[in-house]
Amino acid sequence: MRTRQRFRAAVAALPLLLAVAGCESGAEKADGPGSDGATPTASASRLSVFDVPVQKQPAAAGSVLADSGTARFTTTVTYTTAGGRAVERTTGVLDWRKDAARAERVRQVPAGFPAAVADDLGLTPGLTERHRFAVEGNEVGYLPEGGTWLRYAASDPKEFADAAGGLLDHAGDAAPWGRTLAEVLKVSFALDDEALPGGGRRYRTQVDGLTARSALPSAVAGRVDGQGPTQSVVVDLDRQGRLVRAEADFGKLLAELHGGGGLTGLTGLRVELALTGHGGPVTALVPATERFEAAKSVLTAIGEVKPGACASTDTGLGHAGLVRVVPCGGDADLRVFGQQRIDETVRNADPEGLGDRFAADRCRDDLGAAPAAWTAGARPAGTFRVFGGEKLGYGYTGPDASVRGDFTCYVKLR
C-alpha cells in the first residue's frame, strides 16, 4: 500500500533564544573564502581538511563543521515558474555547542505565481511573509504573529509528530538548523576543484539523490520517492577549511518529478547556503517575557475540525494539516464546510489520484449545500480547497484496487 498527501485548491518561550553579540553594531566581519577569524582551539582540526585527498576535502569539512562553535547563516531557496520567481530566504545564528539556532524566514511570492504550484509548496501568491523559529536539540519553536511560541518536539505523540515532520526536520544533524546544504556535505565527493582568492578552494561535488533530499524544502522532499538522480553541489571552503558557501541547482530532480506528474508548473529550483562569522560570540537569552506552549496541546488535526468552524494556519508548518481552532473573524484564515471519508473499490489500471478527485467532487456538493455564511468569505470567491491523503490498496489477484482516505473541505478566508 502506498500513501500520498496533497494540499491543493480545487475548482477553479522556547528554552533557548539566541542573538549574536555585536551584530547590530557591525563589530563582527563576515568571513569569506580568504578571511581569518578562526579560534585558536579549532584551527588544528580545520587544517586537517586539506591534508586528505582532494576528492574527500568537502566531506572532511562537513565532519568538522561543529568545530566553528557558532556561525551566522543565510539560506536561499528560489522557485521559478512561468509566472515569476518566489524567493524564500532564512537568516539566523547557529550554536553547535548548545545544539541551538534561531532563524527568521522571509517568503516573497509574486502575484503572478501559479496558484496550483503555490498550494503544493505552501506559498501564497502576492504575499510577503515573515516567520520566526528557534531550535534546541530535537525541539523546534515557532512564533505566531502576535502570539506565544509554539513548541514542537520529536517526543510528541507519533501521529502529531508525523504531521509536524516537515518542521521538525529543521532540527538538523550537520547543523542545529536543518534542511540546508550543510546536511549533504559529509557524504559529498569532489569531482574537481579550483583555487579562490585568499587561499580558499571551490569544489564541484556530487551527492546521491536520496541524500540531496535532506537539503530540500519539505514540500518538495516529500515528493521524492526512492533514490532520485545524482545532484551536483558547488562548495566553497575558506583557507582554514571552513564551509562558507554551497549552492545546488535541482533541475535534474525536477525533471524526474515532472515525469511522474509532480510539480509540473515549477520550472526551476535553486538552493543556496552561506555561513559567516565563524566562532563569533553568541549569547543565550531566556527573557521572562518569552513564553511558549506545547503545540500538541493547542493545535487540532484539520480532520477533527467541525463543519462551520474556523481556524488559523499560522503554525509554522506551511500546510493545513494541523490548525488552531479560533473564532471566525480577524485571526481566522480558513473555514471548514465539510468532512469526507472516501472508501471505494475501483477497477482501474492507474487508480492514483482517484481519491483526490472523489473528494473534490463530494466537497463541491458540500459547498453547494453549506450555509452561505460558511462560504461567503472564500478567497478567491467561489473556490474551495481540499486537504487529505489517499491510500491505495492492491489485491494479490485481479484488477481491483481500494481507494481510501479522509478529506477536509474548506474555504480560504485570506
Report d(CA 168, CA 178) in Å as an integer: 9
Q: What dihedral angle (degrees, nearest 10) is formed by the CA atoms of 301, 307, 311, 313?
A: 50
| CA neighbours closer than 13 Å in the CB half-sphere of residue 277 | 22
Q: Is it the case that residue 31 has pLDDT exceeding 70?
A: no
Report the pLDDT averaged over residues 115-127: 91
Q: What is the pLDDT of residue 386?
A: 95
Residues 6+ apart with CB under 8 A from 270: 76, 77, 78, 80, 247, 248, 249, 250
Q: Which amino acid is at 187?
A: V
**Within 10 A of 289 (CB to CB), how many other CB atoms are there?**
5
DSSP 30-61: PP-TT-----HHHHHHHHGGGGS-GGGHHHHH
Q: What is the pLDDT of residue 100?
A: 92
The pLDDT-based confidence of 46 (bands split at 50, 70, 90) is very low
Q: What is the pLDDT of residue 290?
A: 73
Q: Is it the case that residue 2 has pLDDT exceeding 60?
A: no
Contact in structure between 82 and 73 (CB atoms under 8 Å): no
The pLDDT-based confidence of 283 (bands split at 50, 70, 90) is low
**Between residues 403 and 13, the one the model is more confident about:** 403
Q: What percent of the chain has pLDDT over 70?
A: 86
The pLDDT-based confidence of 109 (bands split at 50, 70, 90) is very high
What global pTM score does this model have? 0.84
At 139, list the grid cell.
525541539
Q: Is it the case that residue 407 has pLDDT exceeding 50?
A: yes
Report d(CA 236, CA 200) in Å as an integer: 7
Q: What is the pLDDT of residue 261?
A: 84
Q: What is the pLDDT of residue 289?
A: 63
Q: Is it the case that residue 250 has pLDDT exceeding 70?
A: yes
Residue of 409, 293, 303, 304 lying closest to 362 (CA atoms): 409
Residues 6+ apart with CB under 8 A from 330: none
Burial environment of residue 278 by CB neighbours within 10 A (0 to 12, 13 to 18, 19 or more): buried
Euclidean distance between the first and the last CA atom of the chain, given in angstroms as a whole number? 36
**Between residues 316 and 329, the one the model is more confident about:** 316
Least confident of 32-41, 85-94, 259-268: 32-41
Q: What is the pLDDT of residue 317?
A: 93
pLDDT tens column, 168-197:
999 999 999 999 999 999 999 999 999 999
Can you tell me whether residue 218 is helix, strand or coil? helix
pLDDT tens column, 339-376:
999 999 888 767 888 899 999 999 999 999 999 999 99
Phi, psi angle pair for 233, to nearest 5°: -130, 130
Residue of 364, 255, 276 lying closest to 33 (CA atoms): 276
Q: Is it the case that residue 139 has pLDDT exceeding 70?
A: yes
Can you tell me whether residue 162 is helix, strand or coil? helix
Report d(CA 126, CA 128) in Å as an integer: 7
| Kind plus residue range of the DSSP H or E element containing 339 | strand 334-347
pLDDT tens column, 210-226:
889 999 999 999 888 77
Q: Is it the case that residue 93 has pLDDT exceeding 90?
A: yes
Q: Is it the case that residue 285 has pLDDT exceeding 50?
A: no
Report the pLDDT averaged over residues 273-286: 80
Contact in structure between 214 and 231 (CB atoms under 8 Å): no
Q: Is it the case that residue 323 has pLDDT exceeding 50?
A: yes
Radius of gyration (C-alpha) of the chain in whole angstroms:
23
Q: What is the pLDDT of residue 397?
A: 67
pLDDT tens column, 3-21:
334 344 333 333 334 333 3
Within 84-140, residue ranges assigned H as helices are 115-121
Report d(CA 132, CA 117) in Å as an integer: 24
The pLDDT-based confidence of 329 (bands split at 50, 70, 90) is confident
What is the pLDDT of the chain when averaged over all its residues? Answer: 86
Q: In what order do the strands lie in the sheet with 84-95?
A: 189-195, 201-207, 231-237, 243-249, 268-276, 70-81, 84-95, 100-108, 128-136, 139-143, 149-153, 292-294
Could you say which DSSP state residue 188 is in? -
